[in-house]
């Protein structure tokens, strides 16, 4: 009985190309009490592996968080399987705006302590007492209200390439960092302002809205289905789009373009750019924004040092990495002192926040 992926990303990519089938990119989540996450994890892997599902799925005692792709002609059986699981019956599926057959190249179903790393002690507050879910139309109305504070619950590298107009975009690396920062910044407006939140697909706002209500915020709202569902609604209903730029996504696509605006800049030269890439030096792998000119000049590397390593024969690169572990940059997202434009921006933020 196969319970784990046994193909490399390269082998899977070749199979996808040979199959010639269009694939759908889908995400969903559900909070529910799961007694034995390992058992559910194994059941999901067996069922979904047979349907050629690929993606990243986290299962925990508190629920499930899934980002995946599936052949379009397997969607029916996949949906039927979801509906056969009581807490996933009729779960909202966020179907991507832009699809890429190679968005995911492995099926990874993992058991985690939590489906989102929020750093919260759930026993200290009522996690079911969440904010009011609003659709795209109501969301557009709320964010035009002068009594509304609109907060982006994503990380800095996500909001850097796209966000809603007039949103507060915390300069944080992780979701857990943003929770206390936002509370502190808005502590004088817990009763007189509407706290309206959004994220990619809605999952981060579920826990955050309950946390802020516990902290005394009276008027808490969250965008139903996040940015992904918002875009689908405005397109279907002909509503005004208030999102500018691109929506960052956690798969090989990196992002979905929502508007034609390019609001970010190349981290190396400062020219307008909004394409994330990973440094080609495998020992670095830093995620950063790079324009086409710098990509050609730097051979997809973040620094001249990385470029020198990248140009070495592969065996020499492996030898250099022996015993060194990964560079700390592999854990960073556009945070490195050798990225001149990003460093300048950080200095500006530090001055403004003093």
Identify whether the C-beta of residue 111 lies closer than 8 Å to the C-beta of residue 38.
yes
Q: Does residue 22 contact residue 85 with C-beta atoms inside 8 Å?
A: no
What is the CA angle 220-66-44, rounded to 5?
135
Provide the annotated active-site residues.
Answer: 199
Residue 18: HSE in the Cβ half-sphere, 13 Å Cα cutoff: 6
Other beta carbons within 10 Å of 253: 18
C-alpha distance from residue 249 to each of 44, 68, 116, 143, 276 (Å): 23, 12, 15, 23, 11
The two tokens of residue 29 are 């989540």
CA atoms within 13 A on the CB side of 91: 29
SS3 353: coil
CB 243 within 8 A of CB 263: no
């Amino acid at each position: 009985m196969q319970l784990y992926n046994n193909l490399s990303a390269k082998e899977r990519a070749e199979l996808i190309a040979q199959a010639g089938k269009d694939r759908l990119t889908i995400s969903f989540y559900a909070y529910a009490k799961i007694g034995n996450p390992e058992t559910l994890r194994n059941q999901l892997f067996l069922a979904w592996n047979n349907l050629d599902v690929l993606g990243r799925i986290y299962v925990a005692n508190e629920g499930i968080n899934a980002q995946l792709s599936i052949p379009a002609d397997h969607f029916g059986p996949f949906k039927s399987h979801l509906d056969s699981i009581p807490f996933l019956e009729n779960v909202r599926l966020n179907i991507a705006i832009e699809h890429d057959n190679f968005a995911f190249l492995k099926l990874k179903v993992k058991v985690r302590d939590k489906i989102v790393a929020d750093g919260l002690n759930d026993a200290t507050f009522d996690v079911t007492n969440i904010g009011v879910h609003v659709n795209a139309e109501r969301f557009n109305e709320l964010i035009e209200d002068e009594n509304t504070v609109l907060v982006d619950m994503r990380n800095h590298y996500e909001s850097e390439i796209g966000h809603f107009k007039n949103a507060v975009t915390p300069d944080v690396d992780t979701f857990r960092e943003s929770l206390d920062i936002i509370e502190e910044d808005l502590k004088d407006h817990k009763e007189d302002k509407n706290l309206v939140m959004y994220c990619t697909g809605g999952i981060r706002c579920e826990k955050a809205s309950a946390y802020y209500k516990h902290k005394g915020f009276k008027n808490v709202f969250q965008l139903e289905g996040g940015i992904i569902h918002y875009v689908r609604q405005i397109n279907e209903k002909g509503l005004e789009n208030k999102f500018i730029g691109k929506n960052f996504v956690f798969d090989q696509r990196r992002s979905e373009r929502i508007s034609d605006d390019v609001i970010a800049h190349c981290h190396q030269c400062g020219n307008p750019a909004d394409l994330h890439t990973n440094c080609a030096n495998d020992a670095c792998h830093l995620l950063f924004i790079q324009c086409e000119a710098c990509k050609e000049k730097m051979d997809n590397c973040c620094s001249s040092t990385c470029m020198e390593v990248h140009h070495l024969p592969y065996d020499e690169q492996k030898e250099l990495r022996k015993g060194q572990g990964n560079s700390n940059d592999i854990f960073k997202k556009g945070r490195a002192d050798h990225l001149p434009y990003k460093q300048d921006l950080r200095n500006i933020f530090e001055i403004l926040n003093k």
